Amino acid sequence: MTHQNEQKNPTEAAAMIDVVLRKEKNWEELWFYQKTVVLYQMTYVFTSRFLAKYGDRTVDQMVQAARSGKQNIVEGMADGVTSMELELKLINVARASLKELREDYEDYLLSHRLARWQKGHDRYDNLLRFCQRHNKLEEYQPFFNRWDDEEMANTALSLCHYVDKMMKSYESWLEQDFIENGGIRERMTAARLGYRNIQKATIDAKDREIAQLKSENARLQTEIEYLKELIKGKLQS
């Protein structure tokens, strides 16, 4: 008789071990990452069209800030496989870079006496809806050489707003996940405990098997002795 109901077998025990490394996220599917790709490409075109190519440090600053926002998301999620703390730090770096980019676009509008589209502006609501619903580069790229600088800057500002809002929500999710599941140290501890449980389950299963074999051996020995006595009795008669 087996004892499957008394204790899980080693295979079942192995399935219960917590994974030490977190599953790497596919950042390309995240809407806020997709919007940062748009921001980077849009900023490159914006600076090429509307800012001096030489002698204006703002060009490099804006392009690098847009690139930093995008790249730190990638690096943070890749490093997040082993360190949630590092992922949070890099996501914060990305947010800071995009806030710097937002400031540059606002400064551009102010210094060139262009309108900052806010609530009440006749194009404000349509712009918000467009940036909220569209994430992919190919949905924005056809306008890069058609929009004027005011349109382009306000679109970039709306994207910065949505990206920051979504990244803030993502940070809150990471913090809650850390509270509930811990970091790599906690997962390593859980994995070690799981491995020990596998070893114990394996040893217990072997002990039960040995006990069963001993019991069966004793039964067979008894049966052999009985048969010997039975044969001996028949021979004597």
Nearest in space to 94 (alpha carbons), one of 39, 145, 146, 152: 39
| Cα–Cα dist 112/109, whole Å | 5
Rounded alpha-carbon distances, angstroms, from residue 1 to 12, 92, 202: 19, 59, 18
Confidence of residue 20 (pLDDT cuts 50, 70, 90): very low
* pTM reported for the whole predicted model: 0.66
Q: 16-25, 48-57, 156-165, 190-199: which has the minimum mean pLDDT? A: 16-25
Residues 108 and 150: beta-carbon distance below 8 Å = no
pLDDT tens digits, 89-133 = 889 999 999 999 999 999 999 999 999 999 999 999 999 999 999
| Cα–Cα dist 231/2, whole Å | 34
Residue 3 has pLDDT above 50, yes or no: no
Supply the mean pLDDT for the chain. 81
DSSP letters spanning the chain: ---TTTS--HHHHHHTSPPSSPPPP-GGG-HHHHHHHHHHHHHHHHHHHHS-SSS-HHHHHHHHHHHHHHHHHHHHHHHTTT-HHHHHHHHHHHHHHHHHHHHHHHHHHHHTT-----TTSTTHHHHHHHHHH--SHHHHGGGTTTS-HHHHHHHHHHHHHHHHHHHHHHHHHHHHHHHHH--HHHHHHHHHHHHHHHHHHHHHHHHHHHHHHHHHHHHHHHHHHHHHHHHHHHHH-
% residues pLDDT > 90 (the chain): 47
Nearest in space to 174 (alpha carbons), one of 94, 75, 91: 91
